Structure 1
Amino acid sequence: MKTSWYREPWAWFVFILPFTAVVAGIVTFIIANTNPDTLVVGDYYKKGKAINLELGKIKQAQKLGMSFGLKLVDDQLIIRPTGIEKEFPLLNVNFYHPTLADRDFSLVLTPDGNG
């Protein structure tokens, strides 16, 4: 007795494999388009030149003997100057996320009673 093709388990097995590959490809395409990668910068040359400016700032801070100690206590970041004679009225601090530029932020910090 001959059975219909849709009652054969091997027929479904043969159809399911390519179908899952197509669905996985479509899902991968949707994920790739909704979450674009921000690692590649269009103006990479300008960014490269800006790195040299940042290194200049680091060298200038080293010349002035500027260094700071960081301590994290109960979700609070404590920044203390170490090895610096004079106090700074304010400090500009930039926080950069390694891959998501929209999570970058800057703070202007002033010393409290403890310096």
Structure 2
Amino acid sequence: MSEPKKSKVWYKEPWPWILMAGPAIVVVAATATFFIAKTNNSDLVIDDYYKDGKYINLQIERDQEAQKRNIQAQVLISPSNDAAKVFISGDFNPKEKINILFMHPARQADDQTVTLQAGSGGLSGDKYEYHAVFKPLPPAKHWYVRVEDADGKWRVEDKWLVNKGNALTLSPMEKLPEAGS
């Protein structure tokens, strides 16, 4: 007669450990994902949709005002992305404070707002000359550039594709919907 085989205790067998490794890895990965999501807040997520929806109507009114005043801006950005020359035409007060905004498409921390300074040339044809100096813009494929009055009455903006050159024209949006509709 043969002797019965002694079976190993379960924790000395490899298969239970291999089967438990899958769920253990998932728990560790989920914990890491939660930690990353909690510490790196995304600027792309909007917290208050209703408030932002009301704000959009205000923005449309600013675009319509720029359209009514026929305001346009030509922006020339230095090759080092740390200065700009801006030519603005249309019906606006050239003595009022005017800002230029560079908005990163994903990282709000990289956004910059700079007050334009009247250029030494003043009036050039039908355009007023301004200039701005700012921190060098971090590398990005594109930026949103906006020129607006400090009082928030009008704005012109467009997307700047960096690989297409350092000059862009900002115009009021075409075919705007009626504000409040």
- Give the TM-score of the pair, scaled to structure 1: 0.70
Match of 2:116 in 1: 109
Q: Is the deviation greater in 99-108 or in 48-57?
A: 99-108
Contact 2:99 2:116 in 1 (8 A): yes
Task: Tell me the distance in 1 between the aligned counterparts of 2:55 and 2:105.
Answer: 16
Contact 2:69 2:92 in 1 (8 A): no
Higher relative contact order (CA 8 A, sep 6+): 2
Match of 1:46 in 2: 51
Match of 1:80 in 2: 86
Post-superposition shift, 1:34? 2.2
Among residues 19, 23, 44, which one is paired with 1:18 in the alignment? 23
* SS class of match (1:111): strand
- Give the TM-score of the pair, scaled to structure 2: 0.49
Instruction: Name the structure with the higher helix share.
Output: 1
Pick closer, same or farther for the CA change 1:62–1:91 going to 2, 3 Å: same
Task: Tell me the distance in 2 between the aligned counterparts of 1:27 and 1:94.
Answer: 36
Match of 2:71 in 1: 66
Number of residue pairs the alignment of both structures matches: 114
State percent identity of aligned pairs. 29
Task: Tell me the distance in 1 between the aligned counterparts of 2:81 and 2:32.
Answer: 37
Measured against aligned partners, the alpha-carbon deviations of 1:73-109 in whole angstroms (never above 9, x if no partner) come to: 2113424225448882331234445555555543221
Task: Tell me the distance in 2 between the aligned counterparts of 1:113 and 1:33.
Answer: 49
Instruction: Name the structure with the higher strand share.
Output: 2
**Structure 1 unmatched ranges of 5 or more:** none
Match of 2:60 in 1: 55
